[in-house]
Structures are given as C-alpha cells and as structure tokens.
Amino acid sequence: MISSLIRNFVLDDRIKNIDRDSSDLLRIHLEIIKSKKMINNIFEEFYNLCAIYKNKYFINSNKKVIELGSGVSFVKDKYPDVITSDIKNYKGVDLVVNAQKMQFKDGEINCFYCINCFHHFPEPRKFFSELERTLEKGGGVILIEPYYGWFSNILYKKIHEEEFYDKGQVVWETGQKNNQFMTGANQALSYIVFVRDIKTFENEYPNLEILETKVINNYIRYLVSGGVNFKQLLPNFMEFPLKIMEFIFIPIKNIFGLHHMIVIRKK
C-alpha cells in the first residue's frame, strides 16, 4: 500500500491515465525525454555504447544496422545511418518490424540495437531464430535490459504496475496478446534466458555466441532522472556530481545497477 502511494506520487502526471499499449504513450514519452536533460543524456550514452560495442565485436560491413523497439528513440540524431523500427506504426519511425517475424532477407543485417525492448518479446525463441536467419556471419545484436542485482530485485517489483519482475518464471514465453506492446512483460527475462537458463540458450542456438555482458554504470542518474515514467528528483545541475558518485561507487555497481548489456554475435 505504501509503495503504491509513493509510486503514484512520483509518477509523471503526463503518464497517469494513459493506455500503456496505445500510441499516446509514445507521444508522452517523447515530451518527457525532451523536457528532461538528464534522461536525454542517459539515452545518448546507451546509443554510444551500442556503437562502441558494435565496432568492437562485429564485422565491418555496409549491411543494415536496425534499432528494434525504437519507441521515441533519437538515435538518428547522432547515428543517422541507423534504421529505426517499431512494432507500432507512428510518425518518425523508419520501419514497422515485428522482431519475432521480420521482413528482412537472410543475412541482410549487420547489427540490431535493442534498448529496453527484449523483455517485451512474448516469444523470445522466435526472436533468436530470426537473429540466426537475418544476421550476416560476424554480425550481432546488442541488448540493453533491466539488470537483476540486489537493488533491481527490489525496485523493478515496485515501479511498473503494467509489467512484472519474476526471476522464477518457468518458461521464457510470457503469454502476452498480440495487441499488448508494453503491458504484461517480465523485466527479468534477460536474467532468465542469459543467466539462469544460459545452457539452454547455448544448446538451442549454437550459432549465437554471447561475447560480453556488462552492468551499465549510470544507475544513480537514471534513478534520479525518473526515466521516462517518473518525475526527476533533482535539478539538472546535479548531473555532474552524480556522475562523480557513480565513478566512486563503481566497485558496487553489481549491487545497485539498473541496466546491463548483452552482446551476442552470429558465428
């Protein structure tokens, strides 16, 4: 009861009473990102990470780089060659793409960026099969997902009423309906697949290799910024001191981290 009251208090007023599966949510999220410099900068860091690790691990080619689940992404502002896509059709997105049944040809894609969208895929095995089909050899996917540390275990169970966080979910599939783009997702899916059931993943998809996992060290600023759903808790001029705090607390980022990155390459 108390956690619900706190959640409603810090929830951004623009989010309240919005259908989470509607296009209205995208419009509101865009307003929030544009109005909050701190979360804007955090998403720019996500895009930079994707570009850095793409260049580090994947074959250099002229084939397509696709962002899946772009939502209100502004990745093209910094990386104009990236093609944005979403399962919803709305103004500003380049392509409408269902990540579990993509229209791309075999071996057509060099890299996929997936920022906070993997856990929204109701049947992740179909997504992995599509990765095996559409990626060129040496290409890959970079996932940025909710982390599974001590603090995340507490926080993610409290903040999203439309999603859930269950590390004990037996199967990978969530049973979401076709019109549920945002609701009904298990934020612990990356833990389930890539940690708990890693041997299952490796056995079922031998052509996909996990090259690196990394806890992203922006958790203090992300929490203070309120993300794209909650009110910012401190003014923008506190961003630099918060960065210093994150640097000082690097040794405990595995305890308090909120996001992690998984880099997967097609052999």
User: What's residue 157's pLDDT?
Assistant: 87
Q: How does pLDDT run across 54-87, given as a tens digit for each residue?
A: 999 999 999 999 999 998 899 999 999 999 999 9
> Which of 41, 63, 46, 58 lies closest to 212, judged by CA?
58
Angle in degrees, CA 122, 10, 39, rounded to 5? 65
User: What's residue 51's pLDDT?
Assistant: 97
The pLDDT of residue 2 is above 60 = no
The pLDDT of residue 92 is above 60 = yes
Q: How does pLDDT run across 185-244, given as a tens digit for each residue?
A: 999 999 999 999 999 999 999 999 999 999 999 999 999 999 888 889 999 999 999 999
Share of the chain above pLDDT 70, in %: 90
> Which of 77, 57, 91, 119 lies closest to 267, judged by CA?
57
The pLDDT of residue 1 is above 60 = no
Q: How does pLDDT run across 164-193, given as a tens digit for each residue?
A: 999 999 999 987 655 556 678 999 999 999
User: What's residue 184's pLDDT?
Assistant: 81
Question: What's the CA gap between 2 and 14, in Å, rounded?
Answer: 22
Domains of the chain plus CATH, in order, are 2-266 (3.40.50.150)
